[in-house]
Amino acid sequence: MFNLNNKVALVTGGGSGIGKAIAENLSERGAGVYVLDLQEENGWAVVRGIKDRGYKADFLSCDVADQANVKQVFAEIFEKERRLDILINNAGVSHIGVAETTSEEDFDRIFRINVKGVYNCLHVALPYMKSSGGGSIINMSSVAAILGLPDRFAYSMSKGAVSTMTLSVARDYINDNIRCNGIAPGRVHTPFVDGFLAKNYPGREQEIYDKLAKTQPIGRMARPEEIAKLVLYLCCDEAAFITGSIYPIDGGFISLNT
């Protein structure tokens, strides 16, 4: 089960957190994984860790917001591999603020990375995936696309767009044997969370962490590897009947708060 031998997978934002866990899980199941990230040191560290365990991986620097760069990177991978089976649109950034406190600059930045970045990767990858006979695309959405979260105006906008792009691609490419699904995590304990707490709540990190963790009805944040396991399933043939779905993985956050 969950055999990805001879599959080629691209993971954007694969240098840390959820992306790192996804890259590791896919490689452990036999996929040749390309970690795409702007943080080269982090990306290469993930690749070295995967290779040290005897699995296949490589790193390429990629700015998902720059379509020319995405075209160059994806073409390089396809020229080498002659196929593309899995695309994980995981790269993204967060933002805190309501509509009146969100500057135009901040809004444009969130849109450029979280929305246009996903579009760029879809736009470039889909022809390669069609020529490979099909594949699986996973877009990283959020519970913020489903529920109204306080102080997450621009971020929620971007993840709502990711969810609807997922549905469109699933519909438009179903006859090309391309499945497209989304995942909507709740809070996940990643290095981003630790950095956010250290920057905004110095000396109170544990207090605020515990407060945020308790907003999940299950009583804790998710671990990146838990998100990665769901991604793995959706990428495999065991999930061949699943497309056009957005899966919450949130410790009961949505269902127990509605």
Per the DSSP assignment, residues forming a β-bridge with 178 are: 135
How far does CA 217 lie from the centroid of its chain? 23
Residue 74 and residue 127 in contact, taking contact as beta carbons nearer than 8 Å: no
User: What are 73's two structure tokens?
Assistant: 């990177």
- With beta carbons less than 8 A apart as the criterion, state whether 67 and 124 touch: yes
Mapped onto helix, strand or coil, the DSSP state of residue 192 is: helix
Say how far apart CA 42 and CA 37 lie, in whole Å.
8
Per the annotation, the verdict on 155 as an active-site residue is: yes
Give the whole-angstrom CA distance, residue 96 versus residue 58. Answer: 33
Rounded to whole angstroms, the Cα distance separating 186 from 250 reads 4
Question: From CA 135, how far away is CA 8, in angstroms rounded?
Answer: 10
Q: Are 37 and 15 in contact (CB under 8 A)?
A: yes
Residue from 34, 55, 128, 155 carrying the catalytic annotation: 155
Six-digit token pair at 13? 């934002």
Catalytic residues: 155
